[in-house]
Structure 1
Amino acid sequence: MPQKILITGGSGLVGTRLSEMLIDQGYEVAHLSRQPSKFSKYKTFRWDIKEGYIDENAITYADYIIHLAGAGVADEKWTEERKQEILKSRVDSANLLYSCLQKSDHHVKGFISASAIGIYGNSGDNVVSEESILADDFLAEVCKAWEASSWQINTLGLRTVILRLGIVLSDKGGALPQLARPVKMMAGAPLGTGNQYMSWIHIDDVCRLFIRAIEDTQFEGVYNAVAPHPVTNKEFTKELAEVMHKPLVLPKVPVFALNLVLGQKSGVVLDSQRVSANKVLQTGFTFEYNYLDEALESFYDKKY
């Protein structure tokens, strides 16, 4: 019997690719969605986080739950209302799953949740690991609350894994197309000082890591989901320009200009995060894309 995987946030960037890869590997996949569409490729159960509603058949269907739901951090301006939504969409959804798992007669064997390396805040050149001190800015507080709400599920005796995602590289969405756009228009430049570290991971490696966390029971607790070789923003921009065969013409984009455009969100691109992949490597997991040039070539080399 194929294992059945229930995914929240299944139509997002990671959820879409993960669903495809799970199917390719012989799993069955279902999504939880606010508005199940008749045209979805996947079996879809309805839930409504604001209403505190979840179709109980979803929980009894699943062998494993992968929790990716959460309002996009970089999608909109950070008004107070939006910040509340970023927080509540993650925490309330995990709380809802927890209370349903508590009440229902299910056969779920494990719960795997996303989090983010934003939990470490701006750590400059210091290498941070899962044991490092956590920050207390807005994104870090969101991640802490998100992880706490997910970790409750461990108290129900379910193996719980939390993957702190770095910058997920994909040409289908997320940060990469936004970083590539100015380069494509011959206006590429490092952001801010350009010395801030970017801890990135190829989308296929993220998905392979989620699948590994299902299959390998030694996975429990928190892991950084980042490739082993973080780069500075300057190096990232340079490699991207090289792969796209474009020149880098501009000097650095100054910090004040980014603050003007992005407001509070500027931390997302200006904070330095040099995150260690050692804990994941020690499980025996191997990355398909260890170095940035390999990852970028997988998206852009064919096109240019």
Structure 2
Amino acid sequence: MASTVLITGGTGTIGRRLTQLLQQQGYQVAYLSRTNKPVPNVTVYQWDVQRGQIDPRAIQTADHIIHLAGAGVADERWTDARKNEILTSRTQSTELIAKALSENPNQVKSFVASSAIGFYGGDTGDRPLNETSPGGADFLAQVTRAWERAEDQVAALGIRTVKLRTGVVLTMDGGALPKLAQPIRLGAGAPIGSGQQYISWIHIDDLCRLYIQALADESWQGVYNAVAPTPVTNETLTRAIAEVLKRPMLLPNIPNFVIKLMFGEMAITVIGGNYVLNKRIADETNFRYQYADLTNALNDLLN
């Protein structure tokens, strides 16, 4: 009988693509959702994180859980209320899953949870970072640390837990790439700030394949940096997009102060950078990237 994978955040950009790939490989997929809106070929169970409510059948029928839920970091300006939502949407949802697992009979073999390279800090320059590098001290680092502590509550139940610290996900279905590509298509693209800040990126299909391998391979445990093997600078990425789209790059760099005026504190997600390495994936697993090369990834997504 096919294994059932329960996904939180299944209707988001990553969740939708992950659902397709899981179903192609013969998995049954179920969602934990705030609404009971039907999704084709997916069993939908309801939960209400703020009220601490979850349909116990979701837990009782799952063989694996993939936890993606959390308010988008770059969707809105960081007011105090929004920052609180970014934090609690991650920690409370994870704690609710841990509580439901402890209170309901289940056969869950693995818990594969989203995390973020924000763990290391919003701007760590060109210092190479791997899974044993220390965490940062800024807002996103604090959020990620609290998020991973909540995920440890599942591991404490004896369920194999994998945390994928995810970099910048390249997809045309949302996130950074459409925002970068649009002005370049119009001939108005330019690197941001110095252009020398590093972007640790990953193609969405490679990220989804990492999730699937992490739930299927029992040797995976703990934290992995879910990034492609080669981080690039903002300028390299911008020029590579222009090359793939066959558009000229004519404008000077967009100054940091303009970005800060537009985004406030959230500007760190654009003008900051991290040189994050996929050390554990490279050294300890047999995972093979389909898109290890940036130009190949951009050709696939933009053309």
Give the alignment's TM-score, normalised by structure 2: 0.98
Task: Please show how residues 34-53 of structure 1 align to structure 2 within 5 Å.
Answer: 34-53=34-53
Letter in 2 for 1:110: S
Does the 8 Å CA contact 2:6/2:66 hold for their aligned counterparts?
Answer: yes
Q: SS at 1:156's partner residue?
A: coil
Distance 2:298 2:139 in 1: 30
Write the deviation string for residues 115-149 of structure 1: whole angstroms up to 9, x where unpaired: 00011111111110000011010011111111110
Q: SS at 1:290's partner residue?
A: coil
Distance 1:91 1:187 in 2: 40
Distance 2:184 2:147 in 1: 34
Deviation at 1:284, TM superposition (A): 1.3
Letter in 1 for 2:296: E
Distance 1:127 1:45 in 2: 41
Within the alignment, does 1:82 sit opposite 2:82 as a pair? Answer: yes
Query: 1:269 corresponds to which residue?
Result: 270
Query: 2:156 corresponds to which residue?
Result: 155
Within the alignment, does 1:300 sit opposite 2:274 as a pair? Answer: no
Distance 2:245 2:60 in 1: 47
Letter in 1 for 2:73: V
Query: 2:213 corresponds to which residue?
Result: 212
- Number of aligned positions between the proteins: 301
Q: Which stretch shifts more, 116-125 or 53-62?
A: 116-125
Distance 2:144 2:183 in 1: 30
Letter in 1 for 2:294: L
Within the alignment, does 1:164 sit opposite 2:165 as a pair? Answer: yes
Query: 2:73 corresponds to which residue?
Result: 73
Distance 2:6 2:63 in 1: 8
Query: 1:136 corresponds to which residue?
Result: 137
Query: 1:60 corresponds to which residue?
Result: 60
Query: 1:28 corresponds to which residue?
Result: 28
Distance 1:106 1:81 in 2: 36
Query: 2:234 corresponds to which residue?
Result: 233
Query: 1:187 corresponds to which residue?
Result: 188
Write the deviation string for residues 85-141 of structure 1: whole angstroms up to 9, x where unpaired: 000000000000000101111110110100000111111111100000110100111
Write the deviation string for residues 274-300 of structure 1: whole angstroms up to 9, x where unpaired: 000121122111100011101000011
Q: Which stretch shifts more, 170-179 or 20-29?
A: 170-179
Within the alignment, does 1:8 sit opposite 2:8 as a pair? Answer: yes
Q: SS at 2:156's partner residue?
A: helix
Letter in 2 for 1:232: T
Query: 2:96 corresponds to which residue?
Result: 96
Query: 1:256 corresponds to which residue?
Result: 257
Q: SS at 1:212's partner residue?
A: helix
Distance 1:40 1:32 in 2: 14
Deviation at 1:41, TM superposition (A): 3.9
Q: SS at 1:163's partner residue?
A: strand
Write the deviation string for residues 156-189 of structure 1: whole angstroms up to 9, x where unpaired: 0000000000000001111111111111111100
Letter in 2 for 1:20: Q
Distance 1:85 1:214 in 2: 28
Which stretches of structure 1, 4 residues or more, deviate above 6 A after TM superposition? none
Distance 1:152 1:219 in 2: 18
Distance 2:151 2:3 in 1: 22
Deviation at 1:38, TM superposition (A): 3.0
Letter in 1 for 2:293: Y
Q: SS at 1:18's partner residue?
A: helix
Distance 2:256 2:137 in 1: 22
Q: Which stretch shifts more, 188-197 or 274-283?
A: 274-283
Letter in 1 for 2:85: E
Letter in 2 for 1:217: E
Give the alignment's TM-score, normalised by structure 1: 0.98
Deviation at 1:268, TM superposition (A): 0.3
Change (3 A) 1:40 1:53: farther
Deviation at 1:39, TM superposition (A): 4.8
Distance 2:145 2:244 in 1: 36
Runs (5+) with no aligned partner, structure 2: none
Distance 1:208 1:186 in 2: 34
Does the 8 Å CA contact 2:131/2:279 hold for their aligned counterparts?
Answer: no
Query: 2:124 corresponds to which residue?
Result: 123
Alpha-carbon RMSD across the aligned residues, in angstroms, is: 0.8
